[in-house]
Amino acid sequence: METTTQGTTQGSAQSSPQGSTEAAAPSATAERRPVTRKRRLFPPMTLKLGVGLSIAGLIVLFGLIGPLVVGDPSTVRDIGLTGPGHGFLLGTTQTGQDIFAQLAYATRGSLIIGVVVGAITLLLSSFFGLVGAFVGGWVDEAFSLLTNIMLVIPGLPLVIVISSYVPNKSIWLVAAVLAITSWAGSARVLRGFTLSVRSRDYVLAARIGGEKRWRILLVEILPNLIPLLASQVVFAVIFAILGEAGLSFLGLGASGSFTWGTMLYFAQNGLSLRLGAWWWFAPPGLLIALFGAALSLINFSIDEIINPKLRSQTRAERNRWGMSREQRQAAAEVTV
Amino acid sequence: MTVLEMRDVVKDYRLRNGLRSTRLRAVDEVSFTLEPGRTVALVGQSGSGKSTIAKLLMQLERPSSGEILVDGEPMPYRGARAAAYRKAVQMVFQDPFGSLNPYHTIGHHLARPVRLHHPAFSRRQVAERVLDLLRRVRLDPDFADRKPHELSGGQRQRVAIARALAPEPAILVADEPVSMLDVSIRLGVLNLLATLQREENLGVLYITHDLATARHFSDEIMVLYQGSVVEHGPADEVILNPQHEYTQLLADAAPAPERRLARHRQPTLAAREGGGQQPLG
């Protein structure tokens, strides 16, 4: 077998010396191993992931550094509704407030909401999804009953009721309300996956080996759920930022703090659309759209790890599977 | 030294079908003894209760009635004696692709049971034991850093055997250890198991549906049919002189070159005798 394949390759390319193939083999395996190790922890760097990460990174950087550089976003001046450029990078509001400064603070506010909701959702959904499915029995029944109840409670009306009930809402309260209404879906997904992992042989083997139950959950089961958890968190962050923007736009958001939603709310109240003050509502709207798109792109890359069938299914990828024009010509010549 | 004895063990499962529920008797009054240094083969078709017996022994299930005795005493399910039991009885799973966690390295799989068995071991001592275990199943030391997906089926099954040996057990339950492996490497894995058994004086419960390997590797054979043991005896006795009709069916189903050769040698004679009856054995 070995000799025949070597014979044919040497027949087609006679000058190739035998030594070079032998030398190439071990170096190829040596190069391959660290790559596989890295690939297990991080998704492969594709165009999608690169674009998503850089847009999200820029926005996060703006939210972190921006508020330190700009002036007070609430300062009222007598130059209302000036367009961009006249001493203010993005112009001013009706009451002469610096929109760029507001945008920096709003970015920070929205990101805080996203991160807090992401973290709380991660905790709640992995507690109710993972622990319930792993322990089983009546705990599982109770947990999935609670999850199902939370799932059918319509999210937005509940959020509106809670936020209209509390008069002075901090940004943390809004985040908590959003988190409580949004963890149930991912808890169900996690429960399903945990049920399938729980009965796999390696978990049984760990039980037979005498591992403690919490250790089986944390060391044997949890690492296999990391891609799933990551995509759930990213989704929760998108949901939180959009949800908060929606709430604030309805005037039910956090009072006295800046987020993209409150900026849009004030722009709407200040009749920016009718007055043609695009520089007031366009930047926060654009940032919401861009950040959502960037996180979605990141999520698609994570999805491709969870479900490899999604990979290489774009038209460009599939075209690459076929023969090149030269190959097709060569094939045609051979067959004719 | 551990002697395991199953005495009239019954395992029922409840099958729910809407509001009705029926009972399925997976294991029906099975009794046998596992001793160090002896291999007992458990033969039977799919669904005959082989794996349920393995699960009962591994404490993954509890018997509905009857009892499992460890050194003459009832099986401990909790406390320090249960922990000691879990170390003394280990298992090799059927599917080498499912029994290793894809997230962890081979070294992790072997180091955990070593650490659980010797809590006082230092990091270096654990690493030495891991390399020693790899050597014993004829794998190179550099396998410790690899992930399961980089290994072939036979290599994975060797790792699974090494993991089962890590707590220094007295009894090993091998649940169809080669049925998922390539035919060409089955014998290697089985020979390895036999060698290790001799070296460690293990009691082995070899679960299989392959009569030929059962006869070759075990001292006793039990034939399981629909949950109950229909035949139990020394390996050669069961194969060469099957009493129960299911065992006879199994023995006939196994490929026997002599039988075929005999048929080819005297085709005319057999045809003249008529009836298409072929001489057995």
Domain ranges for chain B = 4-101+170-241
Question: A202 and B58: CB-CB below 8 Å?
Answer: no
| Band of residue B59 on the pLDDT scale cut at 50, 70, 90 | confident
ipTM of the complex: 0.79
Chain B closest CA to A218's CA: distance in Å?
12
The residue behind tokens 């499915």 is A133
Select from B91, B94, B101 the Cβ nearest to the Cβ of A208. B91
Question: A211 and B91: CB-CB below 8 Å?
Answer: no
Does position B280 have pLDDT exceeding 60, yes or no? no
Question: B91 and A205: CB-CB below 8 Å?
Answer: yes
Two tokens, residue A306: 């969870």
Contact present, A181 and A159 (Cβ < 8 Å):
yes
Q: What is the mean pLDDT of residues A95-99?
A: 75
Does A130 reside within a domain? yes
* Nearest CA-CA partner of A244 in A252, A232, A255: A252
Q: Which range (A11-15, A55-59, A127-131, A155-159) has the least confidence? A: A11-15
Domain count, chain A: 1
Instruction: Look at the domain B4-101+170-241 and name its fold.
Output: Rossmann fold (3.40.50)
B83 contacts chain A (CB < 8 A): yes
Does position A179 have pLDDT exceeding 80, yes or no? yes
CATH number at residue A168: 1.10.3720.10
Query: Rounded CA gap, B59 and B74, in Å?
Result: 13
Q: What is the mean pLDDT of residues A135-152?
A: 88
Does position B276 have pLDDT exceeding 50, yes or no? no
Interface test with B, best of A33, A196, A202 (most B CBs within 10 A): A202
Contacts of residue A196 in chain B, CB cutoff 8 Å? none
Does A328 reside within a domain? no
Say whether B24 sits in a helix, a strand or coil. Answer: strand
The winner for highest mean pLDDT among A165-179, A273-287, B28-42 is B28-42
Containing B67, the helix (H) or strand (E) segment is: strand B65-70
Strands (E), A120-246: none
Say whether B83 sits in a helix, a strand or coil. Answer: helix
Q: Which range (A30-44, A267-281, B212-226) has the least confidence? A: A30-44
Domain of residue A78: give its range. 66-307
Interface test with B, best of A41, A201, A203, A219 (most B CBs within 10 A): A201
Query: Rounded CA gap, B118 and B135, in Å?
Result: 19
Residue B175 has what DSSP assignment?
Answer: E
Query: Rounded CA gap, A277 and A295, in Å?
Result: 29
Contact present, B105 and B145 (Cβ < 8 Å):
yes
Identify any residues that bridge with B200 across adjacent strands, giving them in sequence order: none
Chain A closest CA to B232's CA: distance in Å?
28
Chain A closest CA to B101's CA: distance in Å?
6
Does position A20 have pLDDT exceeding 90, yes or no? no
Q: What is the mean pLDDT of residues A317-322?
A: 69
How would you classify the pairing of strands B4-17 and B65-70?
antiparallel
**Stretch 23-62 of chain A: residues touching chain B, C-beta under 8 Å:** 33, 36-37, 40
Say whether B212 sits in a helix, a strand or coil. Answer: helix
Query: Rounded CA gap, B112 and B42, in Å?
Result: 30
